[in-house]
Amino acid sequence: MKQELWDAYDCHGNRLGFDLVRGEPLPEGACHLVVEVYTLTEAGEILITQRHPSKPFGLKWEITGGSVLKGETPLEGAVRELREETGIQAEPESLRPLYVYSPMAEGLKMPAVFHCYLLAAGRERPEITLQEGETVSFRFLPYEEFRRFVRTDAFEETLRDRFLRFEEQISEQIRRVLS
């Protein structure tokens, strides 16, 4: 099986000039980039997927996301993750930046820099094709229902924490798209 490589970054998102290998310990002070995408329908629904039971946080619900691969920009990684995990073919210019967050910059021990985007999926719900071994189910939730659901134990807790931290910004962007 081919190793997944990431570019190494510091906690401020500056490239460090060496590679990281998924599954291997990260050197002190090194981070990798992670993307997350809120997919929003014109009806105001958010797409969530359920993690495969063999993955960490198995059977928890989440938005689309994953690690940015070596040589990719965060936007390229977000487009790839959408395609791989859901089958959604998005153009890079259709993704709106929501926030960039580095837990390590705040002294937390999570070696990632999160780039979060909003995809306005259009008039119809996009057709979803789940990635074998990654996701086992999907749902579209009206945004207000999604906001309640995020707060339950069924939702992946680290994603919940970031949603709650940036909820006002996310909600404002969703209002703008829907108005």
Tokens of 61: 């619900």
- pTM value? 0.95
Exposed e or buried b per residue across 83-97, where buried means at least 16 C-beta atoms within 10 angstroms of its C-beta: eebbebebeeebbbe
In tens digits, the chain (179 residues) has pLDDT values of 678 999 999 999 999 999 999 999 999 999 999 999 999 999 999 999 999 999 999 999 999 999 999 999 999 999 999 999 999 999 999 999 999 999 998 988 899 999 999 999 877 889 999 989 999 999 999 999 999 999 999 999 999 999 999 999 999 999 999 99
